[in-house]
Amino acid sequence: MNEQQKKNRVLIVAIFAMTIIPFVIAWGLKENPDLVKGTTNKGQLVVPSIAILDQDITGFDAFSKSNIKELHGHWLIVNVIPNSGCNQVCLEALLKTKQLRLMLNKELPRTRRVVVLYKTPNDEAAAQLWLKDSILWRLNRLEDDESKTLYLSLLREENKLESSLVDKLIENENREVALSSDLIRVQLSAEVLKKIAEFNKGPVSEGMLYLIDPLGNLMMQYDSGFNTYKVKDDLMHLLRISQIG
């Protein structure tokens, strides 16, 4: 065997290893969750993890159905809306995950943001919720007292985000781009919801958060009022050790 053939063989082996090793690591994390317990401990490990298959996930609306393939092979940051509406705790949790994803910087493309709806809101309530998710973080960045008061007011489900305020907040930006969403809205099968309830020993509460790995395993849970920075620490650790998704 000449030198060039040896180099080609080494290259083929290296490419194969780069392809298979991330999947082996992810499988190992699923089978041995204690491997990350020592350093990933801001949330609660779901043991055993809950497998979520393609047939368990249904897009809630046209946007989500057309983008549902985006969930494949990514780490999913998952909010839940257990009731027909989304109260202040629920909406704050949604806005936290928007901030969380931005905080990931170069790792952001490896993640997707998802919300699981347990019940079906009416069209008007859903439209307001997605609008607030897209826009309200802009208002929260403003430091004046009036903006802070308005932000807190709009966190309440009954208060609507009017079109005139939306125009003011997006200023000269393209409206379609400014209102675009990264939030994929889904509903889960009754079987998966039952497994989640069994793990929680009861129904989920407003504002809870889950992490799902790129193989579809629900593996971590955070209670309402979770700390965005602590979730970021956990997620960054998982991203570093998995190198998948």
What's the DSSP call for residue 55?
Answer: G
Q: What is the residue type of 237?
A: H
The answer to whether 227 and 245 have CB atoms below 8 angstroms apart is: no
pTM of the model: 0.81
Q: What is the residue type of 77?
A: I
Q: Which domains does the chain have, with CATH numbers?
A: 3-242 (3.40.30.10)
Mean pLDDT for 90-95 is: 96
Helix 123-140 with 163-170: angle, nearest 10 deg: 30
User: Which residues lie closer than 8 Å to 203 by C-beta, 6 or more apart?
Assistant: 82, 197
Mean pLDDT for 106-132 is: 94
Low-confidence winner among 29-33, 34-38, 85-89, 206-210 (lowest mean pLDDT): 34-38
Owner of token pair 């998995």:
242
The answer to whether 212 and 29 have CB atoms below 8 angstroms apart is: no
Helix 88-103 with 123-140: angle, nearest 10 deg: 50
Q: Which of 196, 195, 224, 219 is nearest to 209 (CA)?
A: 224
Residue 60, CB half-sphere, CA atoms under 13 Å: how many?
A: 20
- pLDDT greater at residue 18 or residue 128: 128
Distances (CA, A) of 209 to 80, 95, 125, 231: 7, 12, 21, 9
pLDDT at residue 139 in the model: 87
pLDDT digits (tens, 9 = 90+) for 35-68: 444 444 578 999 999 999 999 999 999 999 999 9
pLDDT at residue 118 in the model: 96
CA distance 181 to 125: 16
Query: What SS3 state is found at 187?
Result: strand
pLDDT digits (tens, 9 = 90+) for 232-242: 999 999 999 88
* Tokens standing for residue 242: 């998995």
DSSP labels, 99-114: HHHHHTGGGGGGEEEE
Q: Which of 154, 157, 155, 58 is nearest to 114 (CA)?
A: 58
The answer to whether 193 and 171 have CB atoms below 8 angstroms apart is: no
Q: What is the residue type of 179?
A: L
- pLDDT greater at residue 133 or residue 34: 133
Backbone angles phi, psi at 121, to 5 degrees: -75, 160
